Structure 1
Amino acid sequence: MYRARDVMQKRFHTLSPHMTIAEAIEHFKRASEEAHRRVFGMIVKDEAGRLVGMLSMYDVLLLIRPKHTQVWGIMTDIEVNGLFEVIAERAQSVHVEDLMTTDVITIKPDTHVLHILDIMIKKHIRRLPVVNEGIIEGMVYLSDLFYFLVDNLSPQGGGTH
């Protein structure tokens, strides 16, 4: 019986809610280099190690996207010269806690992999924090779950994980 503990990554990078978005972007870059794959979202935890949110690439892109496009329509109708500089300045003053998602779906270490799959598909989630008694123990990534499942469904059985 395969559980979250069997597929979760125990090494993962985290952010502080008090970091600026510019600092968080640097953490994303560093985490991607260390993981040898692109990191698209990170756990945000407080000083006690408790989960307080998640910051995703999408959250940062929403900050970068000019706000008035939502009102005026398409970008081709808007003068964009100088906007990038304004956005770069904003990234120095906006904090992770201002953008992060606080309503985070989590799983427990003993959550069955098929329940994890169901949650990820229904909620369109690519990563799920594994939390035990308030402490973050790991992260299940959709790509890791995919390969874990297909490896264990192969005719050879037993998988490579």
Structure 2
Amino acid sequence: MLARDVMDTRFHLLRPGDTLTDAVASFHAAGREEGRQIFGMMVVDEDDHLVGMLSMYDILLFIQPKHMRIWGEMEDLDLDRLFPDLLGRARNIRVGDIMTTEVVTTSPDSHILAVADVMVKKHIRRLPVTEDGRIIGIVYISSIFNRLLTGFLAPEG
């Protein structure tokens, strides 16, 4: 079984020049369209080449106060006052400024066990599938797991 057998060919893309507000709106729109929450998207340049990924972790890491260790523990902060200020500052930050740029990819002909090995070892939930430098799909760790579960539940023989 190959990556092409479990990849999703419907995916949503962001551009490096999109704002975080645009990105969050895209996450919500994609979630409504797909009927599930979306926590990350691939980022492509004007030639549709993959240049990064933006995930909920990238956004949460960005809005987290940078000087937390200096300021003290979270309990010591007035988070009700701090949070809106942090969000306000983040609204117009560009996706390209905070996205992950070292993106691991796979080919459509990679075996799903090899793909799963990479995803588990690198703690990756979604893996772009590329061919000739273009994105043709995305593999979710949950898709591989569900396919493996189906194998476990199949009658022996």
Give the TM-score range, shorter chain. Answer: over 0.9
Q: Distance between the aligned counterparts of 1:66 and 1:47, measured in 2?
A: 32
Distance 1:140 1:67 in 2: 33
The letter of the residue matching 1:138 is G
In the TM superposition, 1:101-120 aligns within 5 A as 101-120=100-119
CA distance in structure 1 between the aligned counterparts of 2:78 and 2:134, rounded to whole angstroms = 47
Residues 85-142 of structure 1: CA distance to partner in whole angstroms, max 9, x if unpaired?
3222222221100110000000000000000110011111101000111100000001
2:53 corresponds in structure 1 to 54
Aligned to 2:41: 42
User: Does 1:70 find its partner at 2:69?
Assistant: yes
Root-mean-square deviation over aligned CA pairs: 1.4
Q: Could you tell me how far apart the structure 2 residues matched to 1:14 and 1:70 are?
A: 35
Query: How much has 1:81 moved relative to structure 2?
Result: 4.3
Instruction: Give the equivalent residue in structure 2 for 1:18.
Output: 17
Residues 1:153 and 2:145 are matched in the alignment: no
Q: Deviations along 1:9-29, whole A, 9 cap, x unmatched? A: 000011111001111000011
Task: Quote the offset at 1:156 in angstroms.
Answer: 3.6
Query: TM-score, normalising length from structure 2?
Result: 0.93
- Equivalent residues in 2 for 1:26-37 (5 A)? 26-37=25-36
TM norm structure 1: 0.91
For residues 1-55 of structure 1, give each alpha carbon's deviation from its aligned partner in whole angstroms, at most 9, with x where no partner exists: x100000000001111100111100001111111111111110011111100000
> Which residue identity is paired with 2:151?
N
* Distance apart, 1:62 and its partner CA: 1.3
What SS class does the counterpart of residue 18 from structure 2 fall into? coil
Partner AA of 1:48 in structure 2: D
The residue number in structure 2 matching 1:130 is 129
Aligned mates of 1:109, 1:152 — CA distance in 2: 21
- For structure 2, list consecutive stretches of 5 or more residues without a partner in the other structure: none
Match of 2:141 in 1: 142
After superposition, what is the alpha-carbon deviation per residue over 1:133-156, rounded to whole angstroms, capped at 9, x for unaligned?
110000000111110121133324
Q: 1:89 to 1:152 in 2, by over 3 A?
A: same
CA shift, 1:80, in A, is 2.9
| C-alpha deviation, 1:57, in angstroms | 0.4
Bigger Cα displacement from structure 2, 23-32 vs 70-79: 70-79
Q: Distance in 1 between matches of 2:14 and 2:119?
A: 22
